[in-house]
Amino acid sequence: MSEPVSPPSASAPLPPSTTAPAEIVTRPEPGLARGKWEAPKGAFFVVVALVVLLALGVLAKKAGLVDRLRKKSP
């Protein structure tokens, strides 16, 4: 009688490949890549500052601070 043959397990290592890769992958340099239409880094801080100022203005208007300042001025 012959011994039973078990199927290969999924954790068995694969034989090494003898063929070279067909494509060469080139990766960009690390960091933010700036294209033709991208803004410089400082522009993002300007946008954040404008949003914060606008939000503070809306909150002041809702709280009635803007109306109080207008009544006090001559």
Residue 27: inside a domain, yes or no? no
Across the range 10-16, mean pLDDT stands at 68
Q: Identify the domain containing residue 58 by its residue range.
A: 41-72
In-domain check, residue 62? yes
26-36 average pLDDT score: 68
52 part of a folded domain:
yes
State the average pLDDT over residues 38-62: 92
pLDDT, greater one: 44 or 53: 53
Give a yes or no: residue 2 inside a domain.
no
Residue 4 lies in a domain: no
The total number of structural domains in the chain stands at 1
Percent of the chain surpassing pLDDT 90 = 24
The answer to whether residue 58 is domain-embedded is yes
* Joined tokens for residue 53: 């100022």
Asked if pLDDT for residue 25 goes beyond 80, the answer is yes
pTM higher than 0.75, yes or no? no
